[in-house]
Chain A
Amino acid sequence: MADTPNTPLLTVDKLGVRFAVKRGGGWGKRAFLYAVDDVSFTVNRGETLAIVGESGSGKTTAALAVARLTAAYTGSVKLDGQELLGLEGEELRQARNKVQFIFQDPYSSLNPRQRAEDIVREPLVSLTDKSGAEQQQIIDRLFAEVGLRPEQKRLFPHQFSGGQRQRIGIARALATQPQLIICDEPVSALDVAVQAQILNLLRDLQSELGLTYLFISHDLGVVQHMCDSIAVMYMGRIVEHTDRLSLFNNPLHPYTKALLSAVPSVDKKRRAETKRILIPGDPPDPVNLPPGCRFANRCPAATDVCRQSEPPLTDHGGYHRVACHLVNDSKTAAI
Chain B
Amino acid sequence: MTTPLLKVENLRIELTTRDGVAPVIDDLSFELGQNENISFVGESGCGKSMTALAIMGLLPEKIGRIASGSILFDGEDLTKASPARLRAIRGNEISMIFQEPMTSLNPVYTVGEQIAEVIREHQGLGRKAAWDMAADLLDAVRIPNARGRVSDYPFQMSGGQRQRVMIAMALACQPKILIADEPTTALDVTVQAQIFDLLRDLRKDTGTSIIMITHDMGAVAEMAERMIVMYAGRGAEIGPVEQIIEHARHPYTKGLTSCVPHIVSQLTEDRARLTEVPGIVPGLKDFGKNMCLFASRCNHRTEECLSARPPMKPFENGQIAACWHAEDV
Contact = CB atoms under 8 A, between A and B. Distances in A.
A84 to B, nearest CB: 30
Interface in A159-193: 161, 163, 191-193
A269 B264 contact: yes
Interface residues of A, number: 46
A265 B221 contact: yes
Given A262-B189, A266-B218, A267-B262, A245 B43 contact: no
A225 B259 CA distance: 12
Contacts of A195: 259-260
Contacts of A273: 265
A267 B264 contact: yes
B189 A220 contact: yes
Contacts of A282: 144, 158, 160-161
Interface in B246-277: 255-257, 259-269, 271, 273-277
B19 interface: no
A193 B259 contact: yes
Given A191-B44, A264-B219, A161 B280 contact: yes
Interface string A201-228: 0010000000000000010111011100
B260 A271 contact: no
A267 B189 contact: no
Given A224-B267, A249-B267, A192 B215 contact: yes
B266 A266 contact: no
Contacts of B240: none
A264 B261 contact: no
A149 interface: no
A281 interface: yes
Contacts of A200: 273-274, 276
Secondary structure type dominating chain A contacts: helix
A197 B276 CA distance: 6
A249 B266 CA distance: 6
Interface stretch (B170-178, B193-201, B306-314): B193-201
Contacts of B151: none
Contacts of A203: 273
Contact of A271 (B190, B197, B221, B255): B221
Interface of A: 54-55, 161, 163, 191-197, 199-200, 203, 218, 220-222, 224-226, 244-245, 248-249, 258-271, 273, 276, 278-282
Given A245-B267, A269-B265, A270-B264, 9 more contacts: A192-B43, A197-B276, A200-B273, A220-B189, A245-B269, A249-B266, A265-B264, A266-B257, A278-B194
16 contacts: A191-B44, A191-B280, A191-B281, A192-B260, A193-B277, A203-B273, A224-B263, A225-B274, A245-B267, A248-B263, A263-B263, A266-B218, A268-B242, A269-B264, A278-B193, A279-B190
Interface of B: 43-44, 142, 144, 158-161, 188-194, 196-197, 215-219, 221-223, 242, 245, 255-257, 259-269, 271, 273-278, 280-281, 297
